[in-house]
A and B are shown apart, each in its own frame.
Chain A
Amino acid sequence: MATILVIDDDLDFQQMLRLMLQRGGHKVITTGDGPDGLTKAKQLKPDMAIVDVMMPGMNGYQVVRKMREDPDTAGMSILVLTARAQPVDREAALAARADDYIPKPVAPNELLAKVNELLAHHQSAQGPAKQTTSVLSLRGGVGVTSIAVNLALGWQARGRSTCLVDLQAGPGQAALHLRLNARTTWIDWAISGDTSTNGLSKFLLPHTSGLSVLAAPIVPMNLPAPNRVTTLLELLRERFERVIVDAPRIWDATCAAAVLAADNIWLIIAPEVGSLQSAVGVLRALKAARISDERINLIANQIMPNPGLVLPAIEKALGQGFKGSLPYDEAQSGAIGQGVPLMISQPDSLFAAAIKQLIS
């Protein structure tokens, strides 16, 4: 049984929909206008919202956009159901980031099938309840921080409470990518000796997207003992649904702790000889650390418009295929400079779309 929020100003239709969905085994909340729908969505956190378009004051597209912008409702499944039944209306609904669109009138069994399909898809797309991902490369300049930052924002936008940890000894870059002042860092936490999830809160930097960030120091500092890194990642996993680690660029005890704690390791490879050579070394180190192949995901990052190596050649050399490839995007450097990652400034860009694809 799922909880479904129906937002439609046609009260007769609202009641018909309520009966039909209740017969289908779902709990139904109804409202006749957009602003109240947004409040109910935030407070009651339904699994799905069915949103009409033609509503006075705030139309359905505006409602959907606001839901997607709010971290509390961003991950909700949204179906637009409207009498505006033209192809351009379907495009408008999907552009507003609804999951799907059905024109009115609709047969009850067709609607129920679509609702159940979306709920099932949503559940599988959400993945496991808790997950730690370490983004890794021992080669500098291949875009590890950009990927970690956008991956963290991507999960947050899907409604998963997410923390991004920049595990460098310094100088860290993740806070810069998000235009945050790294006034507290993960090393400050390690030095504090605290071991509680509550105590961790004062070291987290809040980002406007809802993402929490544990920054690295701007000035390099001595690394704490590796067991503090393990404790830190355990505490974060307790508190957040997704933990994204921007892993150190050198293979040391901190880096080893980050990969050992991770459910997934994203090994970032740029299509150039230096990066390939580094990846060979990392894969050997991971094998020596008894990290299973299933946890290792090779991700190609096209950091240049004209790559030096083609991906099949890299796959052949590594004896392993890529899980995904992130396209070259010239807007990337501007995004870093402005402190507004592409996942926020250009969510439909090729780069952001590829990250979202990897998440799903």
Chain B
Amino acid sequence: MSQLGSRRLTADIFADSHRISTQMALRGRVLSDSLNDANTSYLELDIAYVSRIDHPGEILADYALSIVRKDRLTFVVVATGLEMAIKQNATTYAYRRQWPVFITVPGFEITGQIEAPTNIDLRALMAIGVERFIPIFNGKATLSMNQTIQFSGELILINKTAIEVLCIGDKSTQ
């Protein structure tokens, strides 16, 4: 059954200390293309609802026009609307698989699934390619200092330059 929802993509954009909720009319593009577009360092938002990270449910203010510096973003959470956020591969390559990941960025721990070759090379994952934001599917971001604050979504796009630690594989306990 079809769902009642907006034709705009809702995304939560995280900088070091703020959460910006926005609704985007992407005009044919997907969000990851806009974030990874090397021709511009900025992302313009039609409307922005600003919250502080320590009280992320509380809306401080809203602004009709705003602009963000993409290189200073930490990550972007898309709760639903994957088709508006990233281009899906039309074909599935046998040599690619979903890897569980654990990533730390300033203030947050992020878990989820990353799509990568079976013979994954972490250095290549981080260093090669022009895409600044790497996609984590079925992701969950947890505030390190207060683990009750969590943000999850079908997709989390993480700024590679904000990544401190990236671990791949199933976790094991001693």
A35 nearest CB across to chain B (Å): 14
Q: Quick check: A105 and B150 within 8 Å, CB to CB?
A: no
Q: Quick check: B5 and A86 within 8 Å, CB to CB?
A: no
The number of chain A residues with a CB under 8 A from chain B is 30
Q: Indicate whether A1 reaches chain B with its CB closer than 8 angstroms.
A: no
Instruction: Point out the residues of chain B lying under 8 angstroms from A10, CB to CB.
Output: 6, 8
Per-residue CB proximity of B29-62 to A under 8 Å, as 1/0? 0000000000000000001010000001111001
Q: How far is the CA of A105 from the CA of B152 in the complex (A)?
A: 15
A89-106 CB contacts (< 8 Å) to partner B: 89, 91-92, 95, 103-106
Q: Quick check: A84 and B4 within 8 Å, CB to CB?
A: no
Q: Quick check: A92 and B57 within 8 Å, CB to CB?
A: yes
Known A-B contacts A56-B64, A86-B152, A105-B80; the reply to A61 vs B4 at CB < 8 A is no
Known A-B contacts A54-B23, A84-B10; the reply to A20 vs B79 at CB < 8 A is no
Q: Quick check: B7 and A85 within 8 Å, CB to CB?
A: no
Q: Quick check: B5 and A92 within 8 Å, CB to CB?
A: no
Q: Indicate whether A310 reaches chain B with its CB closer than 8 angstroms.
A: no
Instruction: Point out the residues of chain A lying under 8 angstroms from B152, CB to CB.
Output: 86
Known A-B contacts A86-B12, A88-B149; the reply to A61 vs B59 at CB < 8 A is yes
Q: Indicate whether A83 reaches chain B with its CB closer than 8 angstroms.
A: yes
Q: How far is the CA of A106 from the CA of B57 in the complex (A)?
A: 20
Q: How far is the CA of A10 from the CA of B4 in the complex (A)?
A: 12
Q: How far is the CA of A24 from the CA of B6 in the complex (A)?
A: 21
Q: Indicate whether B113 reaches chain A with its CB closer than 8 angstroms.
A: no
Instruction: Point out the residues of chain A lying under 8 angstroms from B62, CB to CB.
Output: 54, 56-57, 59
B100 nearest CB across to chain A (Å): 22
Q: How far is the CA of A53 from the CA of B77 in the complex (A)?
A: 18
A313-359 CB contacts (< 8 Å) to partner B: none
Known A-B contacts A17-B4, A59-B62; the reply to A83 vs B23 at CB < 8 A is yes
Q: Quick check: A91 and B6 within 8 Å, CB to CB?
A: no
Instruction: Point out the residues of chain B lying under 8 angstroms from A54, CB to CB.
Output: 10, 21, 23, 47, 49, 62
Per-residue CB proximity of B73-114 to A under 8 Å, as 1/0? 000010110000000000000000000000000000000000
Instruction: Point out the residues of chain B lying under 8 angstroms from A85, CB to CB.
Output: 10, 79-80, 153
Instruction: Point out the residues of chain B lying under 8 angstroms from A95, CB to CB.
Output: 57
Q: How far is the CA of A52 from the CA of B149 in the complex (A)?
A: 22
Instruction: Point out the residues of chain B lying under 8 angstroms from A59, CB to CB.
Output: 49, 59, 62
Q: How far is the CA of A17 from the CA of B7 in the complex (A)?
A: 14
Per-residue CB proximity of B10-23 to A under 8 Å, as 1/0? 10100000000101
In the complex, residue of chain A having the shortest beta-carbon distance to the beta carbon of B21: A84
The majority secondary structure among interface residues of chain B is loop
Indicate which residue in B4, B7, B150 contacts A86 across the interface (CB closer than 8 Å).
B150
Q: Which of A71-79, A107-115, A210-218 contacts B (4 or more CB under 8 A)?
A: A107-115
Instruction: Point out the residues of chain A lying under 8 angstroms from B3, CB to CB.
Output: 105-108
Indicate which residue in A17, A57, A89, A111 contacts B57 across the interface (CB closer than 8 Å).
A89
Q: Quick check: A104 and B6 within 8 Å, CB to CB?
A: yes
Q: How far is the CA of A105 from the CA of B77 in the complex (A)?
A: 16
Indicate which residue in B5, B10, B59, B150 contacts A87 across the interface (CB closer than 8 Å).
B150
Q: Quick check: B49 and A86 within 8 Å, CB to CB?
A: no
Q: How far is the CA of A89 from the CA of B152 in the complex (A)?
A: 12
Q: Quick check: B4 and A91 within 8 Å, CB to CB?
A: no
In the complex, residue of chain B having the shortest beta-carbon distance to the beta carbon of A61: B59
Instruction: Point out the residues of chain A lying under 8 angstroms from B2, CB to CB.
Output: 108
Instruction: Point out the residues of chain A lying under 8 angstroms from B151, CB to CB.
Output: 86, 88
Q: How far is the CA of A84 from the CA of B50 in the complex (A)?
A: 12
In the complex, residue of chain B having the shortest beta-carbon distance to the beta carbon of A8: B6
Instruction: Point out the residues of chain A lying under 8 angstroms from B1, CB to CB.
Output: 107-109
Q: Quick check: B58 and A104 within 8 Å, CB to CB?
A: no
Q: How far is the CA of A103 from the CA of B3 in the complex (A)?
A: 11
A66 nearest CB across to chain B (Å): 14
Instruction: Point out the residues of chain A lying under 8 angstroms from B12, CB to CB.
Output: 84, 86
Q: How far is the CA of A19 from the CA of B163 in the complex (A)?
A: 46
Q: How far is the CA of A104 from the CA of B59 in the complex (A)?
A: 18
Instruction: Point out the residues of chain B lying under 8 angstroms from A111, CB to CB.
Output: 4
Q: How far is the CA of A89 from the CA of B10 in the complex (A)?
A: 14
Q: Quick check: B57 and A83 within 8 Å, CB to CB?
A: no
| Chain B residues in the interface with A (C-beta under 8 A) | 1-8, 10, 12, 21, 23, 47, 49, 56-59, 62, 64, 77, 79-80, 149-153
Closest 4 CB pairs of A and B: A105-B5, A92-B57, A83-B10, A105-B3
Q: Give 13 A-B pairs besides A59-B59, A83-B10, A91-B57 with Cβ atoms closer than 8 angstroms.
A: A53-B59, A54-B21, A56-B47, A83-B5, A84-B12, A85-B79, A86-B77, A86-B79, A92-B58, A103-B79, A104-B5, A107-B1, A109-B1
